[in-house]
């Protein structure tokens, strides 16, 4: 699933007593039924990109709108206005650096050049066009050593430093703007290198291990140019980095105003989870000893029960402190909510609130976490039916067809471990059931790669209230079904008809619910 890492502070939240409103007033001349969308560059709280339609102002023959934000600190807002006839296509973009109390007016004439815009109002000095250079490094993937790509990123940093200096001299922005953009430039080199290094190691494949020390040394050197310190080994229980060296941290509260710093530490979390998941497989004794203070069997059980969320919390508490740790806790919970992954979230949230009772973020999660707690308390009921031995003895699709003979069945191939599977259940399960209420449709849920997770599997069945027939598939059954129905990924839907024939759902992924409903109705009618 294409994950859109678009983040925005909710307009309905007030982070603290000192948060203020800020406004962007937009006026589009010579457009053609334009609409707009915007998102906030970086913050822990994640929502989809916000779309809207401009109002047509008859006296001025222009399109207008006002965007309102409740802010406790400066934020970067990316605005795209689309559906307009411009000189260079049908969309334009503008990046705002918005502070509490700002009231900025943006006026654009679509018949004029893209750079010919008017910015006025409080905060205008921070919001003229500032176009930093971005250098393409695609051709450098496969480089064995980091020297060339570091030189590229360093040149980009110097060029952008001059662009920022010219902007400051011309427009005299405020100190917060200057601080944020200087930090952005400092962290851009580190972030770009980190992105490149982590992607390049997959291009190098088996060769990477030989050259890894050079890449790690280069990364450490870049980190030292911003914020970097070794972590006391006693605090980490002897944990080591990829080169078996003491851990270091890039925790920097002052840099949270920087978009690039926020993205760097979030990307660090993603890569650390990948690295530790690999270590749990390749070196389980060390992994479970260092991260769970346990032997392999005890640690594996704790790892399974706590899930990725608990491991993320351990990473936060190991690498980050102060406001940065607060931010990373909020990112952890945001991602768990986004991926519909409730495992350990209630207990993690309780610890989060105790650690950061004055957090600007924590209170915004309370309602959602309370809902998770209520859903986790739900139990299996008599309408949740399990095949004999949970279906673990079944090997072929023919056995499933025999079990469901004479019924119209919606089959859902899923896994508790699979975020898209959970997301589809959350979005569509209740709606499909409501549409087919009191109709002759049966539901079959076949979980895959969950044989060692029976307790967690049943817990999710209760959590999502999946009433119907359930099978815990082994590898043979999973392979036979996916081959015969031509399923390629999880989740996969297919329909079994009363005559025993079957067909893959046409709804695709993400599911087009109306397409699946129409296909089911046709199957039931026939």
Q: Are 214 and 146 in contact (CB under 8 A)?
A: yes
The pLDDT confidence band at residue 1, using thresholds 50, 70 and 90, is very low
Query: CA triplet 521, 525, 526: central angle to 5 degrees?
Result: 120
Strands (DSSP E) found in 312-465: 384-386, 409-414, 442-447
Task: Give the span between the Cα atoms of 346 and 353, in whole angstroms.
Answer: 11
Which is more confidently placed, 50 or 310? 310
Number of C-alpha atoms within 13 angstroms, CB side, residue 388? 5
The pLDDT value given to residue 395: 97
- Give percent of the chain with pLDDT exceeding 90: 70
The pLDDT value given to residue 241: 57
- Provide CATH code, domain 20-126: 2.60.40
Report pLDDT digits (tens) over 437-455: 999 999 999 999 999 899 9
Report pLDDT digits (tens) over 352-398: 999 999 998 998 899 999 999 999 999 999 999 999 999 999 999 99
For tokens 């430039």, the residue is: 185
Written in H, E and C, the secondary structure of 195-215 is HHHHHHHHHHHHHHHHHHHHH
The pLDDT value given to residue 214: 94
pLDDT exceeds 80 at position 243: no
- Of the given ranges (106-120, 256-270, 429-443), which has the lowest mean pLDDT? 106-120
The stretch 37-43 carries a mean pLDDT of 81
The pLDDT value given to residue 451: 95
- As a whole number, the mean pLDDT across the chain is 88
The pLDDT value given to residue 47: 63
The pLDDT value given to residue 233: 57
- Of the given ranges (211-220, 248-257, 390-399, 491-500), which has the lowest mean pLDDT? 248-257
**Strand 75-86's sheet: what is its strand order?**
50-53, 35-40, 75-86, 89-98
The pLDDT value given to residue 4: 31
pLDDT exceeds 60 at position 35: yes
The stretch 287-293 carries a mean pLDDT of 92
From 196, 200, 188, select the one nearest 154 (Cα to Cα): 188
Report pLDDT digits (tens) over 50-95: 888 899 888 888 899 999 998 888 999 999 886 655 444 567 889 9
20-126 and 384-525 have identical folds: no
Three-state DSSP state, 414 = strand
The pLDDT confidence band at residue 240, using thresholds 50, 70 and 90, is low
The pLDDT value given to residue 72: 84
pLDDT exceeds 50 at position 44: yes
- Of the given ranges (87-91, 220-224, 391-395, 411-415), which has the lowest mean pLDDT? 87-91
The pLDDT value given to residue 12: 29
Report pLDDT digits (tens) over 125-134: 999 999 898 8
Assign domain 384-525 to its CATH architecture. Answer: 3-Layer(aba) Sandwich (3.40)
**CA 330 to each of CA 17, 40, 167, 263, 386: distance values in angstroms, whole numbers, following the listed order:** 19, 16, 34, 14, 37
pLDDT exceeds 50 at position 7: no
The stretch 135-157 carries a mean pLDDT of 93
pLDDT exceeds 80 at position 230: no
The pLDDT value given to residue 470: 98
The pLDDT value given to residue 238: 61
pLDDT exceeds 70 at position 237: no
From 410, 431, 413, select the one nearest 421 (Cα to Cα): 413
Task: Give the span between the Cα atoms of 145 and 147, in whole angstroms.
Answer: 6
pLDDT exceeds 80 at position 347: yes
Q: Are 99 and 22 in contact (CB under 8 A)?
A: yes
The pLDDT value given to residue 234: 58
Q: Across-strand partners of 23?
A: 68, 103
Phi, psi of 159 (to 5 degrees): -60, -45
Please report, for the chain, the start and end positions of each structural domain, with discontinuous segments joined by +: 20-126, 138-322, 384-525
């Amino acid at each position: 699933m294409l994950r859109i890492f678009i983040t925005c502070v909710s307009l309905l939240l007030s982070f603290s007593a000192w948060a203020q409103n800020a406004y962007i007033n937009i006026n589009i001349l010579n457009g053609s039924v334009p609409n707009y969308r915007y998102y906030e560059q970086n913050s822990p709280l994640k929502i989809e990109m916000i779309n809207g339609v401009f109002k047509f102002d008859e006296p001025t023959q222009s399109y207008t709108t006002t965007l309102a934000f409740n802010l406790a600190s400066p934020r970067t807002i990316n605005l795209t206005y689309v559906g307009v006839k411009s000189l260079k296509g049908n969309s334009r973009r503008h990046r705002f650096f918005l502070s509490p109390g700002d009231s900025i007016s943006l006026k654009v004439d679509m018949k004029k050049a893209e750079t010919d815009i008017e910015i006025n109002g409080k905060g205008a000095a921070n919001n003229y066009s500032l176009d930093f250079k971005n250098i393409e490094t695609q051709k450098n993937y496969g480089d064995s050593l980091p020297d060339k790509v570091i030189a590229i990123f360093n040149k980009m940093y110097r060029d952008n430093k001059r662009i920022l200096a010219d902007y400051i001299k011309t427009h005299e922005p405020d100190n917060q703007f200057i601080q944020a953009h200087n930090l952005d430039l400092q962290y851009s080199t580190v972030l770009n290198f980190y992105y490149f290094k982590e992607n390049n190691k997959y291009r190098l494949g088996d060769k990477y291990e030989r050259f890894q020390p050079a890449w790690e040394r280069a990364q450490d050197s870049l980190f030292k140019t911003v914020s970097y310190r070794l972590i006391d080994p006693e605090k980490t229980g002897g944990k080591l980095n990829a080169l078996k060296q003491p851990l270091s941290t890039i925790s920097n509260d002052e840099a949270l105003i920087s978009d690039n710093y926020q993205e760097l530490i979030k990307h660090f979390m993603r890569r650390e989870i990948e690295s530790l998941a690999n270590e749990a497989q390749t070196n389980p004794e060390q992994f479970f000893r260092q991260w769970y203070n346990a032997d392999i069997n005890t640690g594996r059980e704790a790892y399974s029960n706590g899930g990725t969320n608990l491991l993320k919390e351990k990473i936060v508490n190991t690498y980050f402190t102060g406001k940065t740790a607060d931010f990373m806790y909020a990112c952890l919970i945001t991602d768990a909510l986004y991926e519909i992954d409730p495992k350990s979230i209630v207990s993690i949230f309780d610890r989060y609130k105790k650690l950061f009772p004055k957090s600007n973020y924590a209170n915004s999660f309370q309602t959602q976490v309370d809902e998770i707690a209520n859903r986790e308390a739900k139990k299996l009921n008599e309408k949740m039916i399990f095949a004999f031995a949970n279906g673990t003895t079944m090997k072929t699709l023919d056995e499933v067809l025999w079990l469901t003979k004479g019924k119209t069945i919606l089959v859902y191939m899923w896994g508790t471990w699979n975020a898209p599977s959970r997301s589809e259940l959350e979005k569509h399960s209740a709606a499909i059931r409501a549409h087919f209420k009191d109709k002759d449709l049966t539901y079959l849920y076949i979980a895959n790669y969950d044989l060692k997770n029976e307790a967690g599997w049943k817990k999710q069945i209760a959590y999502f209230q999946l009433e119907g027939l359930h099978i815990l598939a082994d590898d043979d059954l999973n392979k036979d079904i996916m081959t015969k129905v031509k399923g390629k990924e999880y989740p996969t839907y297919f329909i079994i008809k009363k005559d025993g024939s079957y067909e893959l759902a046409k709804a695709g992924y993400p599911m087009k619910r109306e397409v699946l409903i129409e296909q089911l109705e046709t199957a039931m009618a026939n």
